[in-house]
A and B are shown apart, each in its own frame.
Chain A
């Protein structure tokens, strides 16, 4: 920088190509991080509830399982668990894939496939709980 130049300036450390392509922070990191924390706090009581439910349903027949899910508290808690747990899982697995898959195309594809599977599992679980609760 020349000595005559007195105007304040910021040195951009990113390449021109990097700036043009808009790479770098997506500005969504804090929301992702916070959502992971909020869901983990919610999962503390919900996972304990799930563990107690599993113990109560060990060796249960279909009738006992149906009766358990027909209780509104149980079906509501299971639905809450399903929604929050699969959301937490999708965020966690996304971070794992983003950490270990350097190829951009592979990374995007893997995150999409994993999220697709997770959404399908969440829907299948939720529909099953609703069917048991409402039939």
Chain B
């Protein structure tokens, strides 16, 4: 023990066992159980910010298209590469999650789906919808590409 404050970091858990108290970011997933409410909320923010970064890609795509054949063929080739596809995959997951959970937020704004069992159910529905839309997109995309 290097610091007297370390003594305060020892506590008892609900079974009476002596444990080190969990510290903030490292407690996520271990001592702090993710709940549908907090997880779906933070994912809405993270995907929103990711989509914000994604708008740079959309802008690049449109600017390349407007600047000529050479630039456009380069950016289309980048999307077709494995790293481009990986970025696009992340983009579609973020988009479909934000889309589905956005509908959930609009339902909440109109006063619907607030009860805990409903909130858990529509949260699972959002995750299922995200997976379904992402799979649908990539099945169609890989068929027409």
Give A contacts to B, CB under 8 Å: 37, 40-41, 43-44, 47-48, 51, 55-56, 58-63, 65-66, 69, 78, 85-86, 89, 92-93, 96, 118, 121, 124-125, 127-129, 131-132
In the complex, the answer to whether A128 meets B63 with C-beta atoms within 8 Å is yes
In the complex, the answer to whether B140 meets A129 with C-beta atoms within 8 Å is no
Q: Which of A41, A47, A128 contacts B66 (CB 8 A)?
A: A128
Q: Secondary structure of the A side of the interface?
A: helix
CB A62 to nearest CB in B, in angstroms, measures 4
Query: Can you name 19 A-B residue pairings with CB atoms under 8 Å?
Result: A44-B99, A47-B95, A47-B99, A55-B137, A55-B141, A58-B144, A62-B65, A62-B68, A62-B73, A69-B65, A89-B52, A92-B48, A96-B49, A118-B55, A121-B56, A124-B62, A125-B63, A128-B62, A132-B66
Q: How far is the CA of A98 from the CA of B103 in the complex (A)?
A: 24
Over the window 39-77 of chain B, the binary record of Cβ atoms lying under 8 Å from chain A Cβ atoms (1 yes, 0 no) is 000000100110110011011001101111100110010
Residue B3 interfacial (CB < 8 Å): no
The residues of A that contact B76 with a CB separation of less than 8 Å are 59-61
In the complex, the answer to whether A89 meets B106 with C-beta atoms within 8 Å is no
Evaluate whether A129 and B49 lie within 8 angstroms (CB atoms) in the complex, with A40-B102, A55-B144, A61-B69 already known: no
In the complex, the answer to whether B59 meets A124 with C-beta atoms within 8 Å is yes
In the complex, the answer to whether B52 meets A93 with C-beta atoms within 8 Å is yes
CB A31 to nearest CB in B, in angstroms, measures 15
